[in-house]
């Protein structure tokens, strides 16, 4: 995906560490903020899905994301992991790393 700016650094890491989770990176439109270069690399596929979501939803993305999260929370679900925007992003990660998961389950 072209036109994406990735930024990392100490002040960004300080903020992301305070997120519930805490977060390795966050996408705001076509800007991805990461704790450091390694975390930007590890989360690149995931965050690019969010860039695509921003492109499709425009300014409605953030309020829609938050409304879905709050709605899930009040129904006893996980507002982050059960959010369809996150599920789409994690699905890309899982598709990209099946061999790594397999190795971790069978260390021999
Ligand atoms: Zn995400």
Ligand 1 centroid, distance to 103 Cα (angstroms): 24
The average pLDDT across 50-61 equals 96
Ligand 1 centroid, distance to 34 Cα (angstroms): 12
d(CA 29, CA 17): 21
Ligand 1 centroid, distance to 89 Cα (angstroms): 6
Mean pLDDT across the chain, nearest whole number?
Answer: 89
Could you tell me what percent of the chain has a pLDDT over 90? 80
Model pLDDT, residue 98: 64
Does residue 103 have a pLDDT over 60?
no
CB 61, CB 89: distance < 8 Å: no
Does residue 106 have a pLDDT over 50?
no
Does residue 105 have a pLDDT over 70?
no
Ligand 1 centroid, distance to 48 Cα (angstroms): 9
- The DSSP secondary-structure symbol of 35 reads S
Ligand 1 centroid, distance to 80 Cα (angstroms): 8
Question: Residue 71 is encoded by which pair of tokens?
Answer: 């709605």
Model pLDDT, residue 94: 83
Model pLDDT, residue 99: 56
99 or 52: whose pLDDT is higher? 52
Ligand 1 centroid, distance to 25 Cα (angstroms): 8
Ligand 1 centroid, distance to 47 Cα (angstroms): 6
Ligand 1 centroid, distance to 24 Cα (angstroms): 10
Model pLDDT, residue 21: 79
Does residue 32 have a pLDDT over 70?
yes
d(CA 46, CA 93): 6
């Amino acid at each position: 995906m072209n036109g994406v700016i990735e930024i990392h650094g100490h002040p960004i890491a300080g903020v992301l560490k305070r997120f519930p989770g805490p977060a390795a990176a966050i996408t705001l439109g076509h800007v991805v903020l990461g704790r450091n270069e390694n975390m930007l690399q590890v989360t690149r596929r995931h965050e690019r899905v969010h860039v695509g979501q921003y492109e499709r939803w425009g300014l409605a993305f953030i309020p829609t994301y938050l409304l879905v999260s709050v709605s899930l929370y009040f129904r006893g679900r996980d507002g982050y992991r059960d959010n369809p925007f996150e599920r789409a992003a994690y699905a890309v990660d899982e598709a990209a790393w099946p061999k790594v998961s397999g190795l971790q389950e069978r260390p021999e």
